[in-house]
């Protein structure tokens, strides 16, 4: 994934890691795991919601998306 993609996603995500225009955090994306939680944060921040849903199992075997 190129740097421009990362930059665009970081700007849009309601869970942006660019807290105070500081360096990006070393971790990954911090996802809100429930609709209610994510919506609450979106309404607080006024930012759009990037929603991705996936099944946390593969053919009935948990532990892999």
Partner 1 sequence: MRLATYENKAEARLLESLFVGRSGRLENTVFTILSSDGKRELLHSSRGPIMTFGGTSPLAVREMVDTLGVLSLAYPGKKDAKQEDAGLPVLADLRLALNVAACDNLPLVVIVGGGKSKTSAELEEDVRRLAWSNELTGRALYVRVTDTKQLAAIEAADKKPGVLVVQPDTFGLKGKTLARIATDAGVAKLKKDLLAAVNRFDRESRRQFQHVVEGRKEGIDWKTAVPVTDPGRPPRRGLGSRPAPRRSS
Instruction: Give me the residues that bind partner 1 (CB under 8 A), please.
Output: 2, 4-5, 8-9, 11-12, 14-20, 22-23, 25-35, 37-65
Q: In angstroms, what is the minimal distance from the CB of 3 to partner 1?
A: 10
In this structure, how many other beta carbons lie within 10 angstroms of the beta carbon of residue 55? Answer: 10
Q: Give the Cα separation of 22 and 35 in Å (integer).
A: 28
Q: In angstroms, what is the minimal distance from the CB of 54 to partner 1?
A: 5
Q: Give the Cα separation of 14 and 9 in Å (integer).
A: 10
Q: In angstroms, what is the minimal distance from the CB of 4 to partner 1?
A: 5
């Amino acid at each position: 994934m190129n740097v421009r993609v990362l930059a665009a996603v970081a700007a849009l995500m309601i869970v942006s890691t660019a807290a105070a225009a500081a360096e990006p955090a070393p971790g990954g994306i911090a996802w809100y795991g429930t609709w209610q939680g994510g919506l609450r944060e979106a309404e607080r921040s006024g930012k759009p919601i990037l929603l991705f849903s996936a099944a946390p199992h593969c053919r009935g075997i948990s532990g892999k998306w």
